[in-house]
Structure 1
Amino acid sequence: MDFNKLYIIPIIFLVFFYCSKGLSFEYIIILLIITLVFVYIIIQYFFDNNLATYITFLALLLNCFFSFYNKDWLIFIIMIILLVYLSFFKIEDMLYNLANLFYNRANNFSLMFCNWAIKFDVNQADIFKLKGDILLEKEEYEGAFECYKHVLYFENDSNTINDIAVSLEYMGKYDEALNYYDNSLNINPNNVLTLNNKAILLIKLKRYNEALSLLDEVLDIDENNKTAMENKEKIINKKN
């Protein structure tokens, strides 16, 4: 849903709110224009669309409580309708953004929101990618592998295949991991992340010459790549 369509929510709310105060029609129009211009400027210059959505949701929720407390039943019913409307259209984005918010801060909460999003049929590549990353950090490698495989239904790209290879490597399936690294490089031969990851696995397998060749490729692409330089130094030290 286009975020701009959500402006109908504060517009409807403001019209009813100003009407409930007994203001004249002309005064309502002036206040409405001023308020919307101010809100638009704030959103465009200080916030992203997701945060603006949360602010709108919170404002509706607060006004719902205030209208209930003051027994303004018409306003209360309108607030409930608008909250349901907003939740219906934005629940998928909200769950994903909450999962992303807690990522690397409280991964158990992040994982919980990922699972809720999937239950709500949020079949976005991002949610499965995020869940895979969390499971990888929690050393649940098979779960991460399944998540990354699911991402392939949406994005059959080099980075996704690299993620699958990483999870296979952590599972000790080195031959399969190498095949996936190769598949990743077939799609994008200059994928520095995959080149480095494959080189690290080759070092683990003591295939130093092959690893050096890959690290040289990385340094040809990015001469200041710290990972490649450190691993190249490790190989040279091992050979000496």
Structure 2
Amino acid sequence: SLYLYEPGSYAPLARVDEKEGEVENKVYYFHTDQIGTPLEMTDAEGQIVWQAKYRPWGAVEKLVVNEVEQNLRFQGQYFDVETGLHYNTFRYYDPEIGRFITQDPIGLAGGVNLYQYAPNPIRWTDALGWACELFRGVSANHPAIDDARKGIAKPAKADSTITPSEHNYGAVSDVSPYTSWTRDLEIAKWWANKDGPGGVILGTPTGAPKPGDNWHWELSPDDWGESELLLKGVRSKLEVFNPNEL
């Protein structure tokens, strides 16, 4: 089968099946949810040939219509009939427990939980099996709010010699070369709403910078239980969210 996807994603649009001895190929069309998971597949006449209901972490609860085999699941995942697992490019995912069965191939750069899929399965996807989201809550009165609303994370003083421990202890954010991020969405929401309406949450998948990027992650002593990671350098084109819509 040949699969066609939405540009820049693993959300399927159509599937073309070629069978030996048949003159014309069969074309099927996918109908997905908000994160690109197939809910239905229709044929060229618009008839439903496959339809499924899912559990929260991607296991099929019920095949409502199963006239044509269809094994795509969460973005980037392919259902393995023999094992019941989902092949997720770089590792296998178990939809019954919502976890990968092998460790993250990028190690701790993906977070301290080496088996986590994503913080929220109705919002986030992990098409390659190595992404996890990090968040930064920026309140309405924060000095960096204007940049944050444009999807930019910029430290107060990029050339500062402040250490991660000093940043984590507090009272140096106005002279720090770091911006604070967390793996806990609820913590980011708290910071975004700290000064009332107008704050935002920045989001980005974890992972190492690409060659030529002028930023990197640094581990922070988690003295305050905030699941914190520090970003040194400037990043742009980050996702921007209203904290009350997550």
Class of the TM-score when normalised by the shorter of the 2 chains: under 0.3
More helix by percentage: 1
Relative contact order, higher structure (CA 8 A, sep 6+): 2
More strand by percentage: 2
Give TM-score scaled by structure 1 length: 0.25
